[in-house]
Chains A and B, each alone.
Chain A
């Protein structure tokens, strides 16, 4: 279109004479104005609302190294005598705020604060803690699992705030029963990495849930079962802890729960430690 306009201007100068030049210039300005207007407020693109749809998972071998770009606070080569690493996962983050309360409470922000307190309690128990995110990032489910799968002898704890449930209660979830499957050479498919750890996850979950039930009245006494996506690809004893809920009017109600939640998780993991026979290789089966 610009080439045409240049031609018109050039032609108007040579062949059309003075009046033609004026008409050409006027036309050029009109076209310029129209183009500027159309670009100043573009029509929004029609994106598919099912952009989150995923393809069927392709089984992969378990990784032996953490995903690139994921923050690590310990060296995978560090020698270990037993369970001493806890991978702590503050859920959501980035463009995914998670559950949102009417009072503006965002799950992704609160779980970061909870994670800081849980981390301190775990470190006080002598555990090394690796967080899947430190700030407002949103690693994928697989990136978060990869951090745990790269550790030898770690447990995985993902932290959530519910949008429903009795306020002031806490629930621990372990993954639903997955059929036991092993691939070629005894490798576990990536999308079923949790399978060999289900029994240990249940044990860890019951320890932590029992302690939470003592502190937060109305919480169940044993861990619940759910098909939590984050847990499925984690090759370690893995639990999800969900606090109720973002519907509280005052965020301080949730903040007051943080020390109790942190202590219950740390004490529960410490109680679980003797039960866990640490695999010899990262991502190995117990």
Chain B
């Protein structure tokens, strides 16, 4: 092989390596982007499917009671009264109050649920067991700890208890899956008692229509009334 040929081969090889070095990172980025887009599209489709019905503005505004942190740092909740055009259907009503709860109070420090968390779906079984399916953020962004996780679940169950009498138990799913714990401590494998006094009588509720409702987006101005100790009504069943 002559020196000229060697120069050609080395030159071509160098160009090839250079092209490869430029092309492969681009290819990798494209693959990542494609995977991300696929995930986002699935998530978006799910949200649109479950929460696309607008609230009828003709509904009378009623006083809903929502539970956020008291701000004392002692793990207690404070109920706040918010005027909402609540619907009579228990599923839609539950979605309205939970979406308002997720939207959070005016004071962000009083949040009990992560700002990125989304209610993906809500179902109500004829026996009064509700199934609330939240996005991954509820599990990944809730501060890890018994107190903080308890506060998050308490705020959900107490808000449902105060506004949707037909809900008697609550099962929490994360992105459609049953998970062992919320953020490493609180057990999510069972159901939480919501209207504990009604569970004894267990009146049969009619099957829910399952129609989705639009999320309430307005951040309410809460009027604090009284504090509630954590876990005071939080029995659980398996």
Q: In A36-54, which residues have CB < 8 Å from any B CB? A: 37-38, 41, 43-44, 46, 49-50, 52-54
| Closest-CB distance, A225 to chain B (whole angstroms) | 4
Contact flags (1/0) for A41-82 with B, using CB distance below 8 Å? 101101001101111110000000000000000000000000
- Nearest neighbor of B230 in chain A, beta-carbon distance: A224
Contact flags (1/0) for B172-215 with A, using CB distance below 8 Å? 00111111110011110110100000000000000000000000
| Closest-CB distance, B202 to chain A (whole angstroms) | 14
Q: How far is the CA of A161 from the CA of B143 in the complex (A)?
A: 12
Stretch in B25-33, B46-54, B96-104 touching the partner:
B25-33
Contact A171 B147 (CB under 8 A): yes
User: Is B150 on the interface with A (CB-CB < 8 A)?
Assistant: yes
Contact B231 A164 (CB under 8 A): no
Contact B185 A229 (CB under 8 A): yes
User: Is B106 on the interface with A (CB-CB < 8 A)?
Assistant: no
Q: Which residues of A contact B186 (CB under 8 A)?
A: 226-229
Contact A178 B236 (CB under 8 A): yes
| Closest-CB distance, A257 to chain B (whole angstroms) | 16
Q: How far is the CA of A224 from the CA of B237 in the complex (A)?
A: 18
Assuming the A-B contacts A99-B143, A160-B145, A171-B146, are A30 and B16 also in contact, with contact meaning beta carbons closer than 8 angstroms in the complex? yes
Q: How far is the CA of A38 from the CA of B17 in the complex (A)?
A: 11
* Interchain Cβ contacts within 8 Å, total number: 153
Q: How far is the CA of A229 from the CA of B183 in the complex (A)?
A: 11
Give the number of chain B interface residues (Cβ < 8 Å). Answer: 53
Interface centre among A22, A46, A50, A100 (most CB of B within 10 A): A50
Contact B21 A37 (CB under 8 A): yes
Contact A228 B180 (CB under 8 A): no
Q: How far is the CA of A166 from the CA of B17 in the complex (A)?
A: 59
Q: In B36-88, which residues have CB < 8 Å from any A CB? A: 72-75
Contact A38 B24 (CB under 8 A): yes
User: Is A119 on the interface with B (CB-CB < 8 A)?
Assistant: no
Q: How far is the CA of A255 from the CA of B147 in the complex (A)?
A: 20
Contact A54 B180 (CB under 8 A): yes
| Closest-CB distance, B205 to chain A (whole angstroms) | 21
User: Is B162 on the interface with A (CB-CB < 8 A)?
Assistant: no
User: Is A96 on the interface with B (CB-CB < 8 A)?
Assistant: yes
User: Is A232 on the interface with B (CB-CB < 8 A)?
Assistant: yes
Q: How far is the CA of A232 from the CA of B72 in the complex (A)?
A: 29
Interface centre among B28, B145, B186, B234 (most CB of A within 10 A): B145
Q: How far is the CA of A229 from the CA of B16 in the complex (A)?
A: 57
Q: How far is the CA of A244 from the CA of B145 in the complex (A)?
A: 9
From the candidates B17, B35, B74, name the one contacting A33 in the complex (CB within 8 A).
Answer: B17
Q: Which residues of B contact A162 (CB under 8 A)?
A: 145-148
User: Is A124 on the interface with B (CB-CB < 8 A)?
Assistant: no
Chain A residues at the B interface, C-beta cutoff of 8 Å: 22, 26, 29-30, 33-34, 37-38, 41, 43-44, 46, 49-50, 52-57, 92, 96, 98-100, 107, 141, 160-166, 169, 171, 173, 176-179, 191-192, 218, 220, 224-230, 232, 240, 242, 244-245
Chain B residues at the A interface, C-beta cutoff of 8 Å: 1, 5, 9, 12-13, 16-17, 20-21, 24-25, 28, 31-32, 35, 72-75, 136, 139-140, 143-148, 150-151, 153, 174-181, 184-187, 189-190, 192, 230-231, 234-238
Q: Which 8 A-B pairs have the closest CB atoms?
A: A53-B177, A162-B145, A229-B187, A163-B143, A225-B231, A227-B187, A164-B148, A99-B144
Could you list 13 examples of A-B contacts with CB < 8 Å? A22-B1, A34-B20, A37-B24, A96-B184, A141-B180, A163-B144, A165-B75, A166-B73, A178-B237, A218-B74, A226-B231, A228-B146, A245-B145
